[in-house]
Amino acid sequence: MDDKIEDAYQQWTNQPNLPENLVLDLNKMKNDSDQKKDAFGTVLSFGTAGMRGVLGAGTNRMNIYTVRQAAEGLASFMDTLDEATRKRGVAISFDSRYYSKEFAHESAKVLGYHHIPSFVFDDIRPTPELSFAVRHLNTYAGIMITASHNPKQYNGFKIYGQDGGQMPPKESDLITSYIRKNSDLFAINVTPEQELREAKIMNLIGEAVDQAYLEKVQTVNIDHDLIKNVGANMKFVYSPLHGTGKIIARRALEAAGFKNYVVVLEQTIADPEFPTTPFPNPEFPQAFDLARELGKKLSADVLIASDPDADRLGCAVRQPDGDYTLLSGNQIASVLLNYILAAKKKAGDLPADGTIVKSIVSTDLAPKIAASYGVATNNVLTGFKFIAEAIHHYETEHDHTFLFGFEESFGYLIKPFVRDKDAIQTVLLLAEVAAYYKSQGKTLYDGVQEMFQKYGYYAEKTIAKEFDGLDGKDKMAHIMSELRDNPLTEFNGHKVLSHADYQSSKLTDQDGKQTTIDLPKSNVLKYWLDDETWLAVRPSGTEPKVKFYLEVDDKSQDAADKKLAGCVDAVDKMIDKLMNN
């Protein structure tokens, strides 16, 4: 084992006053060189989405020292700003994970040492409410302690900019440079919390922000008579999956007039163990196991779940046989969009300059729907901060009106008083859309099928290939370089008509002609085939995974499903070939 790794391990072991959980973790890896290598062989990467990692001791782990280092990076950056801007301070929220509250308060103590005010929620709150709080309180930045939908052993640290969106790349890169300058994790200064509270540098926030946020959330619903006449009695199930939606979502639903929904009681406990599901992720069927049981007992129309930090939302719809079918993130987004645009057209308030914003790896069904209503589509890079940037541009330039934003990964934004995906907004509108179809004797699933009949049958799948360990990054880089060095010309028996390399900002057609892509550079490749299939390849910014996104379009559901299955097999073969090169 590398001497540097052993030296780092010994430095941590010899550190006085180390928290008990880190002492236990160090003892566990005492005779495990692989664990030491993974914990101390590198540092947690900090990118435009912040940092995320496994909890534990080490430079490659989430702990109070790596959190302090991240907060010190933000504080050092803010020290370069003018005094009035610094004094606007930082809003801080946290979810229900292990050490989330501790990490939030440690961040405030680091900022406080720099005399930067902090406004810390008194208890767990959703990520979208943190985004709202930054805007509502006019702070310069925000910190959200969350690992979103990751398993229980993870936590994370996300920085938000003054518009309420995740910190833009320019500022994020500067913060990262300051983080790396503070390489001695044990030398970062903090001010005791009581001292900061007494000096009103660290401030607690709560109900006042809740009420302001909920007041805005009530503007999301469109047809209040529909909710009163149908939604109020509609049976559906909601689960916060042991997270931050447990209070805010329920208050929002009740204020909107939904009176007959039932919560999954076991999953309303803010438990960092996530004991009822291995994956607190509403895109996975297992997350709905308890909701499904409850739904069958009640004959509930819809099952809805938000992830632990309540920025993502998934749902399942009851079928004639009494079982439930999960909708994909793309399907949820499309049915929401279709309802919003139809309602606005009916009311006569569909703007001539309306636009939706989606990521480049999200469905092509949504642009078809938008175009049928005369609404434009703006494709942006993956990461909701790019949707937030587009909204900011529209509000500044007054050249478009934002109508809806989404990513295929179960993230949606309806009203831009928040600048991140918002499951609280979405649960209200999705319940209304379910009520709309119920009023016609139909379900959300029927609504999706109607869209398919009108616009084409779409099927999609995301394949995430994991690359754990220290050599994981090298393997991920190898896959991307192999694809760049040897561009695909054929996939699943079909020709590649064009491909995009968002790293070089070049779109290349089958004849080799190139045009420039007007987007920021990003490590993403995308291919369009001659049968209207597309494939995108992208390394995750927060997890050790390379993601392969697939979407197909055909004239029937069976044909689309068959085509997709062939593409999935082709991706598996392609991965094997790439790893063997």
**Same domain assignment for residues 546 and 566:** yes
Give pLDDT, residue 441. 96
**Same domain assignment for residues 432 and 501:** no
Confidence of residue 154 (pLDDT cuts 50, 70, 90): very high
Confidence of residue 579 (pLDDT cuts 50, 70, 90): confident
Mean pLDDT calculated for residue range 4-31: 95
Active site residue 362: no
Domain assignment present for 526: yes
Distance linking the first and last C-alpha atoms of the chain:
28
Domain assignment present for 260: yes
Provide the residue range defining the domain that includes 482: 457-580
Domain assignment present for 27: no
Confidence of residue 171 (pLDDT cuts 50, 70, 90): confident
Catalytic residue among 93, 118, 131, 148: 148
Confidence of residue 355 (pLDDT cuts 50, 70, 90): very high
**Same domain assignment for residues 167 and 260:** no
Give pLDDT, residue 312. 97
Q: Which of 250, 433, 401, 242 is nearest to 337 (CA)?
A: 433
**Same domain assignment for residues 227 and 346:** yes
Domain assignment present for 335: yes
Residue type, 78: M
Q: Of 397, 432, 455, which one is at a domain's C-terminal end? A: 455
pLDDT (tens digit per residue) in 482-536: 999 988 999 999 999 999 999 999 999 999 999 999 999 999 999 999 999 999 9
Give pLDDT, residue 296. 97
Q: What is the CATH number of the domain that holds 89?
A: 3.40.120.10
* Burial class of residue 335 in the structure, from the number of CB atoms within 10 Å of its CB (0-12 exposed, 13-18 middle, 19+ buried): buried
* Average of per-residue pLDDT values in the chain: 95
Flag whether pLDDT at 282 surpasses 60: yes
**Same domain assignment for residues 444 and 461:** no
- Using N-to-C axis directions, what is the helix angle for 329-347 and 365-372, rounded to 10°? 10
Find the angle CA(313)-CA(123)-CA(115) to the nearest 5 degrees: 115
pTM value is 0.95
Confidence of residue 212 (pLDDT cuts 50, 70, 90): very high
Give pLDDT, residue 557. 95
Tokens 């199930």 sit at which residue? 237
**Same domain assignment for residues 285 and 341:** yes
Give pLDDT, residue 381. 94
**Same domain assignment for residues 338 and 359:** yes
**Same domain assignment for residues 276 and 224:** yes
Flag whether pLDDT at 343 surpasses 60: yes
Flag whether pLDDT at 1 surpasses 60: no
Domain assignment present for 24: no
- Residue, of 241 and 2, whose pLDDT is higher: 241
Give pLDDT, residue 548. 96
Confidence of residue 40 (pLDDT cuts 50, 70, 90): very high
The beta strand positions in 79-201, using DSSP E, are 90-94, 118-121, 141-145, 154-160
Domain assignment present for 355: yes
56 backbone dihedrals φ, ψ, rounded to 5°: 150, -175
Domain assignment present for 538: yes
Q: Of 455, 477, 503, which one is at a domain's C-terminal end? A: 455
Flag whether pLDDT at 48 surpasses 70: no
155 backbone dihedrals φ, ψ, rounded to 5°: -150, 175
**Same domain assignment for residues 261 and 327:** yes
Confidence of residue 169 (pLDDT cuts 50, 70, 90): confident
Q: Which of 431, 511, 101 is nearest to 261 (CA)?
A: 431
pLDDT (tens digit per residue) in 421-431: 999 999 999 99
Flag whether pLDDT at 470 surpasses 80: no
- The DSSP symbol for 187 reads G
**Same domain assignment for residues 311 and 413:** yes
SS3 content of the chain, % helix, strand, coil (to 5): 45, 20, 35
Q: Of 205, 233, 264, which one is at a domain's C-terminal end? A: 205
- Residue, of 576 and 315, whose pLDDT is higher: 315
**Same domain assignment for residues 407 and 487:** no
Flag whether pLDDT at 559 surpasses 70: yes
Number of folded domains that form the chain: 3
Domain assignment present for 278: yes
Mean pLDDT calculated for residue range 353-375: 98
Compute the distance between CA of residue 326 and CA of residue 304 in angstroms, rounded to an integer. 10
**Same domain assignment for residues 284 and 426:** yes
Give pLDDT, residue 191. 98
Give pLDDT, residue 542. 67
Mean pLDDT calculated for residue range 527-552: 91
Give pLDDT, residue 386. 94
Q: What is the CATH number of the domain that holds 465?
A: 3.30.310.50
Q: Which of 110, 113, 111 is nearest to 140 (CA)?
A: 111
